[in-house]
Chains A and B, each alone.
Chain A
Amino acid sequence: MAVPWTLRDLEYWDGRIREKVAEFGLNCYPQEFELCDHTQMLSLMAYSGMPSHYPHWSYGKSFERQKTLYDHGVSGLPYEMVINSSPCIAYLMRQNSLALQILTMAHVYGHNDFFANNFTFNHTRAELVVETFKNQANRVRAYTADPSIGIDKVEAILDAAHALSMQCRRNPAIHKRDATEQKQAAMAGPPNDPFKSVHKRPVAQTPDLNRVPLEPEEDVLLFIRDHASNMPGWQKDLLTIVHDQMQYFLPQIETKIMNEGWACYWHRTIMNSLELPSEIHMEFLVRHNQVVRPIPNDINPYHLGLKMWDDIVRRHDEPSFDEIEEMQQSPQAVSRPSGREAIFHIREVDRDVSFLRRFLTRKLMHEMDMIEMEPEGDDLIVSRVSDEDNWKEIKRTLIAYTGMGSTPVIRIIDSDHGGNRTLLLRHEYDGRELLLEYAERTLRYVQQLWGRRVVLQTVLDDKEVAFSWDGSDFEQA
């Protein structure tokens, strides 16, 4: 069935795709493609596509799981595996047909452009990524090989660090105040209120400048690294490594829908403009539809993202009557950009949460039959459909679970709680409860790193509760 192909064919099609990429104005990093077989692809998946990565058993587990799923035909392998680096590295599976390779390459250029231009990726230092990961891998291997440390100790720290790696700041673009700035802010008192005369005068409070941290701290690993007593250097380094890697992956988590939608939008646009031979074009259509079809009861980021980009373009180029009216009321009505201009701008300045908030319209939600589901016993029951009364609610639910939204926010409140160096953490309750078994286990990891009692405040059944773990006893207060 598949058309036999050679590296020459790939180079030819890559040239054609690059012409289109330039013509459409995509602004990419240099691109590298590497051919691999399916075992290599499984390995790459386990290590997030990184050419080198520190070892940890969880990646072996991930490999085994992917392999089991693949061997039993439950899931296929991804067509594309691309990493945010400069040059941008992507992998092509040699077993795939030519049509699939062309499709993948076009798709990869979409991702490449997104990595290079979206603001959330600014801090990832794409040109150093491969070296950074390699350097981190070497450090971890050195600790493992060190006879005074060894694999068991390294693993224990990594296990704990992995459990807490998602407990970090969600938006690196927002400046984080250091201790001095926090102190200044605390001493400055409340901001000047222009409506002092009508507002009730606030009760003056003396800030407690001795508390560490002054402001609730979200970077749990970094805080423990900097404030735990007697933590050896290699442990601090491991925490830093895990934190830095999460910072690198954060933008990909935060822009999954935009990024995949963007890549799909461009692979479709490029493929349609390439004047492909008909059999390749047919296969492309089949594959494309497999990738962007909706998944029942779930969100397919490829599908949702593509739908939204299409909708934005349509609203700018061929707005409906209502939309014209709506737009004329908005302040930007004077200079209305074309669809292309608009999406290039949006791919630079938005992330999934703001993207959904700004551009997921009621009409689109209705068209896609967005629903909200609630569990009832073992069954999922549709609780809301996208009608006049409910679409905003559904959108809120969707945004709540988008990107890092699916990870609870845990903040460090005090590192000397009760005056005995107890670490006090607070779960910022937003109506969603923690899964208790997991919270308990994760709290043990916090304690393991911190070395003294840790307390976690959260809300269960609308009541405030605190769990405490001191290494031997688990208490609920």
Chain B
Amino acid sequence: MSTIFRDYSSSDALQSDRSSGDRLRHRQKVRDAIRDNIADIVAEQAIIGRSRDTIVKVPLRGIKEYRFVFGNNDARAGQGKGDSQPGQRVGKVPQPGDEPGDGEAGDQPGVDYYETDITLEELIDLMFEDLELPDLERKALRETISHAATKRKGYRKVGVRVQLDKRRTALARVKRKMVLDHPEQEEGEAGEEQAMPETAGEPTGGFVPVRGRFPFVKNDMRFRRRAEDTDYDSNAVVICMMDTSGSMDQQKKYLARSFFFLLYQFVRTRYEHVELVFIAHDAEAHEVSEDDFFHKGESGGTLISTAYARALEIIDQRYHPALWNVYAFHCSDGDNMPGDNPRAVKLASELCEVCNLFGYGEIKPSGYFRDQDAMLGVFKALKAENFQAIRIGDKSDVWSSFRNFLTRDKAGLTTVT
């Protein structure tokens, strides 16, 4: 019996991506694993302030393939380099469950991933997949043209060459032929001759009809029609306000920054154009650059109301609520001058009127007095649906606080708990 050789066929190769379904399923598992671990990732990864293309390493649990295996504390046999002596150090202990892979699959438990690479972009998409902005309504006035392009819209008989649709053109010709052939089936030739005069002045010019041929005519041509297509989308501005008084140290600033980062990235996923405004305040408020906002040294006392006043001023001048979705968030450690509180609450309620969402985050790393005179208590007086006050204790709180920030009022509106 002779050996059978089956040659390579590229069409088979294109069709035979048989692992695609399983790969897709595996990727879904990876995504699920990431989603389950997002709180840890946000807490541990220095993703804050990185560019969106940055690749982060994400630890994965839950997609390991478990079996009964031996631990790696026992002696193993192997081959030395030829002059091994007892006591010699020859390498590192392999990871648990890690077996040397080889060509013949199916005989070894595979090496498990311990982490996977993912771009920050993907991670952010995953993080925000199931979150919604509470007040994400599109108001007609706020709409601006965000995207202008053309898209296909039907067919027509005239057009430029590149838009020629060959399939439809051919179909049109076949139809015409059938129409011409059908009534006088016996006189096929006559039908053909009828068609011929039409070809006379065609671009195929100089064409001499040959018996049995049925050429294209201008009327057969079908061109794709393209039409202007406009998308409308809304603009948003995120106003970040931060206390830079003497009591805001680097750690508190880092927490605030994490929160602003999440907020900005989230708003970005929902709007086409997002602008950022940074307002730093101690006893007075200034609009500053992003860099200054996070890195400027801290000093002075605290007058929260100045920041709100400044924010209102900026909204009034540049981001009219009729045209912009405004999201404002303020981070502070809550050490406001007591005399400023009533004014702060008043301005905050004014802010609530112009903003889609206004939030206040009180940063209280553990070790601070819980009962210290804080703004959280003061803001209880503020009754506005789109106002949220939250507390951030340490970095593991950032993600849960953020989720609460975006979901709490929805829950409050829909269910009475």
Contact = CB atoms under 8 A, between A and B. Distances in A.
Interface of A: 7, 10-11, 14, 18, 30-37, 39-40, 42-43, 45-49, 55-65, 69, 75, 78, 80-81, 87, 94, 151, 155, 159, 162-164, 166-167, 245, 249, 252-253, 256, 294-301, 303-304, 368-375, 378-385, 394-395, 397-398, 401, 406-408, 410, 427, 431-439, 441-442, 445
Given A43-B18, A78-B103, A407-B67, 8 more contacts: A37-B13, A46-B19, A166-B68, A252-B104, A296-B81, A369-B83, A435-B70, A435-B97
23 contacts: A30-B4, A48-B104, A56-B22, A60-B19, A60-B26, A64-B23, A64-B26, A80-B103, A166-B67, A249-B106, A296-B79, A297-B91, A373-B75, A373-B77, A375-B72, A382-B86, A382-B87, A382-B89, A383-B86, A384-B75, A410-B68, A432-B74, A437-B96
A55 B22 contact: yes
Nearest to A425: B68
Interface in B61-108: 63-93, 96-97, 99-107
A298 B79 contact: yes
A33 B3 CA distance: 8
Contacts of A7: 5, 7
Contacts of A81: 103
A439 B78 contact: no
Nearest to B62: A441
B78 A434 contact: no
Contacts of A295: 79
A373 B81 CA distance: 13
Contact of A398 (B66, B77, B83, B110): B77
A65 B111 contact: yes
Contacts of B80: 296-297, 369-371, 382, 385
B17 interface: yes
Interface in B1-45: 1, 3-8, 13, 16-19, 21-29
Given A62-B105, A63-B22, A407 B75 contact: no
Contacts of B90: 296-297, 371, 373, 380-382
Nearest to A59: B22
Contacts of A395: 77
Given A35-B5, A39-B17, A163-B66, A46 B105 contact: yes
A47 B109 CA distance: 14
A428 to B, nearest CB: 11
B207 interface: no
Contacts of B27: 60
B114 interface: no
A52 to B, nearest CB: 8
A304 B75 CA distance: 19
A438 B113 contact: no
B24 A299 contact: no
A59 B71 contact: no
A435 B69 contact: yes
A58 B3 contact: no
Given A61-B26, A299-B79, A369-B84, A379 B91 contact: yes
Contacts, number: 260
Query: Size range of the interface on B?
Result: 35 or more
Contact of B106 (A35, A48, A64): A48
Of all A-B residue pairs in the complex, the 8 with the closest CB atoms, nearest first, are: A60-B22, A78-B103, A60-B26, A398-B77, A60-B23, A441-B66, A35-B8, A57-B25
A35 B8 CA distance: 5
A299 B23 CA distance: 31
Contact of A167 (B66, B68, B107): B68
B28 to A, nearest CB: 8
A43 B103 contact: no
Given A253-B107, A434-B68, A368 B3 contact: no
A378 B90 CA distance: 11
Contact of A33 (B4, B16, B17, B77): B4
A49 B72 CA distance: 30
A98 to B, nearest CB: 14
Contacts of A432: 70-71, 74
B201 to A, nearest CB: 52
A440 B100 CA distance: 23
Given A45-B105, A58-B65, A432-B74, A18 B7 contact: no
Contact of A32 (B6, B79, B97, B102): B6
Contacts of A369: 79-84
Contacts of B1: 30
A31 B19 contact: no
A382 B90 CA distance: 7
A397 B77 contact: yes
Given A40-B16, A45-B103, A373 B76 contact: yes
Interface string B186-200: 000000000000000
A434 B76 contact: no
Contact of A249 (B21, B67, B100, B107): B107
Contact of B6 (A34, A155, A372): A34
B87 to A, nearest CB: 6
A370 B79 contact: yes
Given A81-B103, A381-B90, A384-B86, A438 B68 contact: yes
Contacts of A155: 25
Contact of B4 (A32, A37, A245, A431): A32
A240 to B, nearest CB: 17
A28 to B, nearest CB: 10
A87 B4 contact: yes
Contacts of B68: 166-167, 407-408, 410, 427, 434, 438-439, 442
Given A36-B13, A48-B104, A61 B63 contact: yes
Contacts of A437: 96
Contacts of A164: 67
A296 B88 CA distance: 13
B267 to A, nearest CB: 33
Contacts of B73: 375, 433
A4 to B, nearest CB: 14
Contacts of B102: 301
A372 B19 contact: no
Contacts of B77: 299, 370-373, 394-395, 397-398, 401
A101 to B, nearest CB: 11
A379 B91 CA distance: 6
A58 B73 CA distance: 27
Determine which residue in B73, B101, B107 has the highest number of CB atoms from chain A within 10 A of its CB, and name it: B107
A397 B75 contact: yes
Contacts of B81: 296, 369
B47 to A, nearest CB: 23
A62 B110 contact: yes
A407 B66 CA distance: 12
A33 B7 CA distance: 9
B92 A37 contact: no
A40 B66 contact: no
Given A48-B105, A57-B25, A442-B68, A40 B13 contact: yes
Contacts of B87: 381-382
Determine which residue in A32, A42, A64, A431 has the highest number of CB atoms from chain B within 10 A of its CB, and name it: A64
B64 to A, nearest CB: 8
A385 B85 contact: yes
Contacts of A159: 65
B23 A63 contact: yes
Contacts of A31: 3-4
A166 B106 CA distance: 10
B335 to A, nearest CB: 46
Contacts of A62: 105, 110
Interface in B316-340: none
